[in-house]
Amino acid sequence: MSRIGVLATLIFMLFTTSVAFAEGNAVTRRAAFDIGSANIKCTIADVDTISGAIVKTHTEIYEKVDFAEDMARSYDGNFSKDIMLKGQEALEKLKGKALKMGAKHFSAVGGSAFRDARNGRAYFATLKEDTGIPCRILSKEQSTLLSYHAVRLQKNISESHLLVWDIGGGTQTMAARTQSGGLAFYIDKMASVPFKNEIISTIQGHDINLVNSPNPLSTSDIHRALEYVQTHALLNVNPELASRLRSGTMQVIGIGGVHYYAVPELLGGRNESYTREEIKAALEEWTGKPDDAFKSEYASTRLTNLILVLGYMNALDIDTISPLKVNQTEGLLISPEFW
C-alpha cells in the first residue's frame, strides 16, 4: 500500500474511533421540570445516556405557582384560567433560562394536582403544544418511585432500612422496600395546603374561600389539630410501613418543601436531622404568631406544617428525620422512558 493509502487508512480509523468514542460517551444536557402543586422546579444537568448517570448538575431553579391553593378554592374541580396562564408563563420562563445554559432536551412531569383536576389533562396537552416541552402526568406510583430513586442517588443507605417521606403542597407519600423486595407505598392528600385548609374549616370553623391563613393559631387550635392528624395517620398509613417505622430500624429521609425548608426554618436552621422534641419546642415558640412573624411567602402553612409532621411522628413513633434536598427532576433526568 502506498504511503498516501496508509495515511488515508489511518485518518479513517481515527475518525471512526472518535465517532465511536463520542457515541459511547453520549453526554447530553437536559432540563427536567417537576410541575408540582405549589412550585414548578427545573434541574439542568449533563446526563450520560449510556450509563444513565448524572455527570454534572448545573443549576436547580423554580417558580412559585400555587396550583393546590387554586384548586382548594375551585367550585367545579377545574383550575382557574389565571393559574393556568401563570403556570405556562413560569414554565416558559424556566425553559428560557435552560436554553441559555445550553439545554438540548426537555421533559416535564406533574402529579396528583393534575390527575385530580377535571381540566388537568387538557391543560398538560396545551402546555406541551404551546411550550414545546413533552409534558406527562404521572401515576401516583410513578411519582413516588421517581422521588425514591432520587434519594437513592444521594444516600448510601441499605434499601432494607430506607424510608422516603415526601410532603409537598398537595400530596404526601412514603415509600420503602417490603420484605419480599417490592415497594410499599403510602400516598395521601393530607399534605401542606389541604391540612392547612382543614384546620381553617374544621378546627376554626371558617370558610376557606374567605380565609386563607389560620394564623395566629391558639394552643387549643394546635392541640385539636394534632389529635386530628394523629388519628388520620393511625387510620391511613400502610400497616406494613407503620409496623416497620415503629420497629425503630428504619432511617427516615424527609424530602419535599415541608421537610427541607418549612420545618428547619422554624427550628432556626437546617441540620443533618431534626427530632420530635425539637418540633414540640418550636410549636410552643411559634404559637399565637401572625403571618408577618414568619417572614415567608408560605407563612400561612409554616406552623401547620409543624403540626402535620409532629402528628405523624407521634402516631408512627418516628423520633428523627433527616431532611434532604431532592426533587423528582433528579429521578426524571435518569429515567430513559421520559426522554
Can you read off the three cell numbers belonging to residue 43? 434541574
Q: SS3 for 273? A: coil
Q: What is the model's pLDDT at position 6?
A: 44
Digit-coded pLDDT (tens) for 75-101: 999 999 999 999 999 999 999 999 999
Answer yes or no: is pLDDT of 9 > 70: no
At which residue does the C-alpha cell 436552621 appear? 269
Average of per-residue pLDDT across 223-230: 98
Closest CA to 294 of 226, 220, 214, 224: 214
Q: In angstroms, rounded to a whole number, what is the distance separating the alpha carbons of residues 186 and 127?
A: 29
Digit-coded pLDDT (tens) for 249-260: 999 999 999 999
Q: In angstroms, rounded to a whole number, what is the distance separating the alpha carbons of residues 108 and 328?
A: 10
Instruction: Give the helix ranges, DSSP H, for the chain.
Output: 3-24, 67-72, 81-100, 112-116, 120-131, 140-154, 192-198, 219-236, 239-247, 256-257, 263-267, 276-286, 291-294, 299-316, 328-333
Q: What is the model's pLDDT at position 22?
A: 39
- Please state whether the peptide bond connecting residue 264 to the residue before it is cis, i.e. omega within 30 degrees of 0: no
**Number of residues assigned to the chain:** 339
Q: CA-based angle 217:219:224, to the nearest 5? A: 90
By DSSP bridging, strand 105-110 and strand 135-137 are parallel
Q: SS3 for 310? A: helix
94 burial type by CB count under 10 A (0-12 exposed, 13-18 middle, 19+ buried): buried
Digit-coded pLDDT (tens) for 24-44: 458 999 999 999 988 999 999
Q: What is the model's pLDDT at position 186?
A: 96
Residue 1 pLDDT class (50, 70, 90 cuts): low
Q: What is the model's pLDDT at position 112?
A: 81
Can you read off the three cell numbers belonging to residue 112? 396528583
131 close to 91: Cβ distance less than 8 angstroms: yes
Q: What is the model's pLDDT at position 18?
A: 39
Residue ranges and CATH numbers for the domains of the chain are 27-141 (3.30.420.40), 156-323 (3.30.420.150)
